[in-house]
Amino acid sequence: MSEHLPVIVVLAPLFGAVIVGFFGSRDRRLCFPIALTALALSFICSIGVVHHVATVGAWDYFVGGWESPHGVGIQLRADGVNSLLLLAIAVVALLALVYSIRQDGEKDAEKSPFFYVLFLLLCVGLFGITITGDAFNVYVLIEITALTSYGLVAMGSSRRSRVAAFQYLVIGTVGASFYLIGVGYLYLAVGSLNMADIRAILAANPEIANSRIVGTALVFILLGVWTKMSLFPLHGWLPNAYSYCPSGSANLMAPLVTKVSVYVMIRILFSVFGLGVITENPGWSELVVLIAVGSIVAGSVMALTQREIKKMLCCLIVAEVGYMVGGTWLGDAGRWGLTGSMYHILADAMMTSCLFLAAGVFAKQFGATRLEHLSGLFRRSPWVAGAFTLGGLAMIGVPPMCGFFSKFYLIRGAIESGHWLYIVALLGSSLVNAILFFRIFEIAYFGEVPESSEPFEPSEGEGATPRRYAVWRTAPLLIAAALTLLLGIFNRPVIDLIRGTVVENTGIVSMEE
């Protein structure tokens, strides 16, 4: 079966979801093991994919065996970037799953099977988006991701979660439809949907590549994915949506959904339109970098004003998205910006997952949803506090955390292409993060332990849970923190793989003159 790994990665959670839906409602204790098995399977497969890509090279898989003529069937493609992203998705999803183990007696327990079904289908969407090589297929999978996200957000027990979900639905559908319009224009111009095929056609006939239709296609595809990734000024929906949904699903969505959209942007840019669009229209890429800077600034400022942990983290996501979009559009000769943002996709997935898991643990174990609830955390549970600290340091970008190295390459790209404003924004937001997180560290480190070691009044939606589930929540957090550190220390193999792909896809000679 080893030659089918790319598709099994996607199928495992799909089958898992179906089986859970079939048996789960009869016996709820089956749900968690099935889901765990499914995700573990796709985790193993994604390791296999990464290994194959690292040793052999890019891997094409033609669904239905429609390999020739090219572009008739649907093609899956795994290369240096998305194989790593597959792995990251699998890891984050596993951690979130283990965290979100539900027990009977919890309220709306009869819905828990369907929570798992939606969870797994969301993973299907993410995996599928990441590995597909077909422009329209991306749309279908985006819709799966979106629908499941609406469901998961609306499962939050706060009244506001429903409104957030509805706004998310409207915005998300508009975004996906914009993407669909873009693909339509592209299809109208070149008559193909296969990414590689489109690339070849655009490369072969420049008059098409420079036509207004293709330009409009690019604009709308970008608008679509920017809406999905909540880039400023389209970021309004994200903080509500992610901070009111149950933390079990926030741990999955917040780290991954935006990152995958960023990945889609990068994929569309360098394997459909080609990075030429960045370097050949400096005016436009200048504008995009400005938007990214705006996103960074807006995210940081919003985060400064928040007193709720989850909200603050959500605002930081907006800023991080700004990093990646800006880095992609720097258009420096050495492709350092692109490398940086690709690495940052992974790094940010890991550290956001770590931070959100930590926020979830705060809420569940200590009923702490606001900064001031965290006082004395270091003494109450040093491990949780330590893990959160690691995540925060990574967010600030302190070596040897992964956050530092992505900034290292992003700034290199920015200096080479002379985007000083971007550098200022990047460093500024790093300083803002430092302020934010050290504010929390101070509260957690100096603050008095509240005399009642019992959890606070459990906030809406985050019912305090029996102690025996504490380990299920804490273990993923610790693993995520450790991964955040390891990804930073051992960044070299990752960077090498990414650079290999970048160099091969964009044809720059590797490095310094």
Partner 1 sequence: MENSIHSYLPLWACLSSLAAVPLILLFRRETFLREAVTILAGIAKLSFVLAMLPIILQGNMIELTLFGDGSDGLVPIVFRVDGLGMVFALVASILWIPTSIYSIGYMRGLKEHSQTRFYVFFAVSLFATLGVAFAGNLLTLYVFYEILSLSTWPLVTHHQDAEARRGGRSYLVHLLGTSIAFVIPAMIYVWVKSGTLDFGGQAILADTDLSYVQGLALLLAFAFGFSKGALMPLHSWLPSAMVAPTPVSALLHAVAVVKVGVFCIIRTVLNIFGMDLLGGLGIDLVLCWIAAITLVTASLIALTQDNLKRMLAFSTIGQLSYIILGIALLTEHAALGSILHIAMHAFGKITLFFCAGAIFVATGKKQISELNGLGRRMPITFAAFAIGAASVTGLPPMGGFLSKLYLVWGAAEAHQIALLCAFLISAVLNGAYFFPVVYRAFFLPEPEMDAIHADGSCCVSGWREAPLLCVLPLAFTAIGSILLFFFPSTFYDLASIVLHGGVANP
Partner 2 sequence: MMEWMKTTIVPHFNFWIYVVIMMLGLWAAIGKNNLIKKLIGLSIFQTAILLLYVSMGVKEGASIPIVDETMGEAAVDFMAQGGGGAGATAFPINPDLFANPLPHVLMLTAIVVGVATLGVALALCQVIFRDFGTLEEPEILNQIKTIQDDV
Partner 3 sequence: MQKLFATIAVIITGAILLNAVEDFPRFGDPHSPPNSGVSGGSVSSSVHYLQNTYLDTRVPNVVTAVLADYRGYDTLFETAVILTAGIAVFAILRVVRREDEEESAGSEEKACSGEFSTSDSDGEGRHRVVVGTTCRVVVPLAQLFGFYIIAHGHPSPGGGFQGGVVLGTSFILIALAAGLGSALGRLREDMYLRLACLGVFIYAGIGLLSLFFRRNFLDYGALSGLLQTGGEEMARSHGIFGVELGVAMTVTTVMFALFANLSTRGELKGGL
Point out which residues bind partner 1 (CB under 8 A): 334, 393, 396-400, 404, 407-408, 411-412, 415-416, 423, 427, 430-431, 434, 438, 442, 445-446, 490-492, 495-496, 499, 510-513
Residue 219 binds partner 2 (CB under 8 A): no
Applying CB under 8 A, which of residues 36, 54, 60, 177 lies at the interface with partner 2?
177
Q: If binding is defined by CB under 8 A, does position 113 make contact with partner 2?
A: no
Question: Smallest distance, Å, CB 367 to partner 3?
Answer: 25
188 is a contact residue toward partner 2 (CB under 8 A): yes
Find the binding residues for partner 3 in span 44-83 (CB under 8 A): 61-66, 69-74
Angle between helices 382-396 and 470-489 (to 10 degrees): 40
Among 14, 138, 180, 297, binds partner 2 (CB under 8 A): 180
How buried is 509 (Cβ within 10 angstroms: 0-12 exposed, 13-18 middle, 19+ buried)?
Answer: exposed
For every residue of 343-399, which 3-state class applies, written as one string? HHHHHHHHHHHHHHHHHHHHHHHHCCCEHHHHCCHHHHCHHHHHHHHHHHHHHHCCC
Q: Does 509 bind partner 3 (CB under 8 A)?
A: no
Site string for partner 3, 146-185 (x = CB under 8 A): -xx-xxx-xx------x--x---------------x---x
Q: Which does 510 bind (CB under 5 to 8 A by kind): partner 1, partner 2, partner 3, none?
A: partner 1
Give the Cα separation of 311 and 89 in Å (integer). Answer: 23
Integer Rg of the chain from CA = 22
Output DSSP code: residue 78: E
Does residue 308 bind partner 2 (CB under 8 A)? Answer: yes
Cis before 476? omega within 30: no
**Phi, psi (deg, nearest 5) at residue 259:** -60, -40
Say whether residue 492 binds partner 3 (CB under 8 A): no
CA dihedral in degrees (293, 294, 295, 301; nearest 10)? 110
- Over the window 460 to 479, marking each residue x when it contacts partner 2 by CB under 8 A and - when it does not, the resulting string is xx------------------
Is there binding between residue 332 and partner 3 (CB under 8 A)?
no
* CA distance linking residue 267 with residue 136, whole number of Å: 13
4 contributes a contact to partner 2 by CB under 8 A: no
210 binds partner 3 (CB under 8 A): no
| Tokens linked to 391 | 């995540």
Q: Is 30 in the site for partner 3 (CB under 8 A)?
A: no
Contacts of 458 (CB under 8 A, 6+ apart): 367, 464
**What are the phi and psi torsion angles at 116 (to 5°)?**
-65, -40
Count of residues interacting with partner 3 (CB under 8 A): 76
Dihedral sign for Cα atoms in the order 146, 148, 150, 156? negative
Nearer to partner 2, 14 or 87 (CB): 14
Of 25, 459, 469, 482, the residue at the interface with partner 2 (CB under 8 A) is: 459
CB-based contacts of 364-367 (< 8 A; 24+ apart in sequence): 364/247, 364/462, 364/464, 364/465, 364/473, 365/455, 365/470, 365/473, 365/474, 366/455, 366/456, 367/455, 367/456, 367/457, 367/458, 367/459, 367/462, 367/464
In the window 233-252, what residues touch partner 2 (CB under 8 A)?
243-244
Closest CA to 244 of 303, 292, 311: 311
Subset of 359-378 contacting partner 2 (CB under 8 A)? 369-370
Q: Which stretch binds partner 2 (CB under 8 A): 95-103, 153-161, 259-267, 434-442?
A: 153-161
Structure tokens at 344: 């940052």
Question: Does residue 74 touch partner 2 according to CB under 8 A?
Answer: no
Regarding 205 and contact with partner 3 (CB under 8 A), the answer is: yes
Per CB under 8 A, 456 contacts partner 2: no
DSSP state of 448: P
Contact residues for partner 2, defined by CB under 8 A: 136, 139-140, 143, 146-147, 150-151, 154, 158-160, 162-163, 165-166, 169-170, 173-174, 177, 180-181, 184, 187-188, 193, 243-244, 308, 310, 369-370, 459-461
